[in-house]
Structure 1
Amino acid sequence: MKSSIIQSAIGKLLKPLVVLLLRSSVSYQQASEWLKIAFIEAAEEIGPQDKPATTSWIATVTGLNRKEVKRIRDQGAGDADDAIDRSPPVNRAQRVINQWMTDPDYLQSDGEPSALAFDGDGVNFSTLVKKSSGDMTPRAVANELERQGVIEITSTQTLQLIQQGYFPPPGSDKQWVLAGQSAADLITTLSHNLQVDTEDARFQRMVSYRYLPVSQHAAFEQLSNKKLTESLKELNVWLSQHAGKSPNDIDEATARVSVGMYLYKSDSKE
C-alpha cells in the first residue's frame, strides 16, 4: 500500500482530533508529549509475546530516543505505584437506567419502564438503586437524573423515566471520559479490521450521502435517533441478561464489549 494513502487516511483521522485539542487550548507541545506516551504504551501492548518489551526495543520501533523512552516509562511506573486504574469507569447512573429498562420487576406489561415511588413497600426507586448501584444513595441518584432531565417527578410523586440514557453535562469530566472511550473503541475496531481477513472482521458499517438537502437534515436526524435508540435498547436488554455486574458474577473469563452508534453531519459541503 502506498504511504500516501496511509498518510491521507491518518490525516483525516487526526484533523478533527487536532480541532478538539485547539478548542480545548491544548498546545502542540503538550499534545506531542501525550503522543509519546501513547506510542510507548502501544509498543508495550504489541511487543514481543515471549518476553517484556525492553526500552531499547521500544526506542527502535517507535523512533523515540532511548532516554525519552526511559523517562516516560519511569514516570509510568510511578503511576502504577499509585495504583491508578485506567480501565473505563462504569457510570452508576447509567447502571440504574439500564436496570430500570431491562429488569422485569421494574417494567410494565408492555415492556416500558414503570413509574416508581421513591421508597416504601415493594419495588421502588430506592430498591432499584440498591440493586443496580450498590453504595450510591437513592436521593443522590434521583437528584442527578432529575437535573439531567432523565427522570421527572409526576403529580403523584412517582419517578418516571423519560430518557433512555444518561448524558453527562457538556464539557464535564464524565463527558471527556466517555468521548475518549467511545473514540478509542471505534479506532480499535478500525485497526483490527485493517489487519484481519474479512471473515474475522468485527461489525463496522456506515451509510453516507454527500448531497442531502439541508432542509431534510432535521427529518433524517429524528429518524436516525429513533431507529438507533431502538437498536441500542434491544442490545442492552440482551447484554443485561448475559453479562455480570462484576467479574465475581461470572464463572468464566470475561471481556468488555461495546456497540457504538453516532450521527455525523458536516458543517458545509465536503
Structure 2
Amino acid sequence: MSETINDTGEGTTLHAPVARLLRPLVRLFVARGITFPALTNLLRELYVNVAEYDFALQGKEQTDSRVSLLTGIHRKEVRRLRGAGAPVSAVPAVVSRTSRIIARWLADPAFTDPEGRPLALRRAGEDGPSFEALVAGVTRDLRPRAVLDEWLDRGLATLDGEDRIVLAEAAYVPRGGGEPQLYYFGRNLHDHIAASVANILGDAPRFLERAVHYDGLSEELALRLEARAKEIAMAALTQANREAHAACAADPGGSHRWNFGLYVYAEAVPPAGDAFPADDALPASSEAEA
C-alpha cells in the first residue's frame, strides 16, 4: 500500500524553513556516510515513537490505527515499530565528569579570583585551593591524578612555571567529532529546536529565542562582530554558570533540567542574482513568532 503526503494546510508553510533547517544536517549525514535509506528508516521509527508517546490521548490506549493515521505509516509497520520506548540520550561518563569539574572551577568562589577568573591550582594540599580538592568535591570515584593526566593529554589544562594547574579554556569544548562532541551536538540542537517548537505550538511564547542579525556586511566587519559576539556570549555563560552553581547549593533537587545556550554564526552568502535590499543592512533583533 503506497503512502501519501498531505501537502495541504499548515504543513506546506513548514516546507521552506524545514528545508533550511535540515540542509546543514544533510551535509553532515553525507559527510559521515548516513545514506538516505538509513535516514528514512530512522525517521520512520521516530515518527512512530513520537505519535505513540507524545500524541497519546489521556485515558485512552494509543492504537496502531491512530498512530498510522497520525504518521501516514502503514499499520503493519506501526505494529512492528511500536513499543520501543522513548529514546534515551545517555550522558557519556567523560562528558558528565569533565563538565561538572570545569563548571565548579569556573563558578565556585573557592576556586576563582575576585574577578571570577579560574585560579591556577596546586596539585594537592590543605593550604588553599587545589586540583585534588576541586575533583574530590565533584566525584570520589576517580583519583585526581588520573583526571589531571587525562586533561593534560587532551589539552584541557596546562602546567605553569610553578607547576600549578591552569585551565586552558573557560568552558568544556569537545573537539574531533568524537562521542563527547556529538553528545553536545545532539543535546544543544535538540534543546534549541525544542524551545522553538514549544513556542510555535504553545498559546504564547514561553522560551527566549532571539537573534541579532545583520546582512550585507564586509568580511572584515563580519569577522570582527563574530569575535566580539563570542566575548559577550562567554561573559553571559560564565555569569549564568556562577549563579546556577550558587543556587544549586540550597536546592532540594528534583526531576527538572535547565539549559542556557548561545550560538554565534557567520558566513559568506552566495549571490542570488540580485543585490541585498537596503533593509537587509539594518539591525534586527528577532524573536520566534512562536
- Place the TM-score, normalised by the shorter chain, in its bin: 0.7 to 0.9
Distance 1:243 1:219, change over 3 A: same
1:203-230 CA distance string (max 9 Å, x none): 0101111211112232112101100000
**Aligned residue number for residue 36 of structure 1:** 44
Deviation at 1:111, TM superposition (A): 2.5
- SS for the counterpart of 1:152 is strand
Q: Which of the pair is proportionally richer in helix?
A: 1
What is the alpha-carbon distance in structure 1 between the residues aligned to residue 44 and residue 140 of structure 2? 38
Shift of 1:110: 3.0
Alignment of 1:55-204 (within 5 A): 55-74=64-83, 76=84, 85-88=88-91, 91-122=96-127, 123-198=129-204, 200-204=205-209
Under a length normalisation based on structure 2, what TM-score does the superposition of the two structures give? 0.81
**Distance (whole Å) between structure 1 residues aligned to residue 60 and residue 142 of structure 2:** 43
Equivalent-residue separation in structure 1 for 2:146 and 2:130 (angstroms)? 15
Matches of residues 1-12 of structure 1 in structure 2 within 5 Å? 2-12=10-20
Q: Deviations over 1:3-48 (max 9, x none)?
A: 4322111111122211111111110111011111211221112321
Whether the 8 Å CA contact 1:95–1:133 is kept in 2: the answer is: no
Cα deviation for residue 93 of structure 1 reads: 0.7
SS in 2 for 1:219: helix
106-115 or 123-132, which deviates more: 106-115
Give the secondary structure class of the aligned counterpart of 2:26: helix
1:206 pairs with one of 194, 208, 211? 211
Instruction: Quickly say closer, same or farther: Cα 1:51–1:129, change in 2 above 3 A.
Output: farther
Say which structure, 1 or 2, has more relative contact order (CA 8 Å, 6+ apart).
2
Structure 1 unaligned segments of length 5 or more: list them: none
- Distance, in Å, in 2 between the alignment partners of 1:236 and 1:13 is 29
Size of the aligned set, in residue pairs, is 259
Q: CA deviation at 1:2?
A: 4.9
Determine the C-alpha separation between the residues in 2 that align with 1:115 and 1:139.
Answer: 16
> Structure 1 192/155 Cα, relative in aligned 2: closer, same or farther at 3 Å?
same
Give the aligned residue type for 1:235.
A
Corresponding residue of 1:22: 30
Deviation for aligned residue 1:87: 4.6
Alpha-carbon distance in structure 2 between the residues aligned to 1:172 and 1:99: 24
Preserved contact between residue 59 and residue 66 of structure 1 (Cα < 8 Å): yes
Find the partner of 1:13 among 13, 16, 21.
21
Which residue number corresponds to residue 229 of structure 2?
224
- Deviation sequence 1:37-65 (CA, Å, 0-9, x none): 21122111232122442333212211111
* Deviation, structure 1 residue 121: 2.2
**Is the CA contact (8 Å cut-off) linking 1:151 and 1:159 kept in structure 2?**
yes
Q: Is residue 255 from structure 1 mapped to residue 256 from structure 2 by the alignment? A: yes
Deviation beyond 6 Å, 4+ runs, structure 1: none
Q: Does structure 2 conserve the Cα–Cα contact (< 8 Å) formed by 1:153 and 1:160?
A: yes
SS of match in other structure, 1:207 = strand
Cα distance in 1 for residues equivalent to 2:136 and 2:62: 44
- Give 1 or 2 for the bigger CA radius of gyration: 2
Q: Percent identity?
A: 25
- Alignment RMSD: 2.3
State the alpha-carbon separation in 2 of the partners of residues 62 and 17 from structure 1.
22
State the AA in 1 paired with 2:109. Answer: P
Question: How many angstroms does 1:105 deviate by?
Answer: 1.6
8 Å contact 1:150–1:165 — kept in the other structure?
A: no
Which letter does structure 2 place at the counterpart of 1:128?
L
| Aligned mates of 1:21, 1:233 — CA distance in 2 | 33
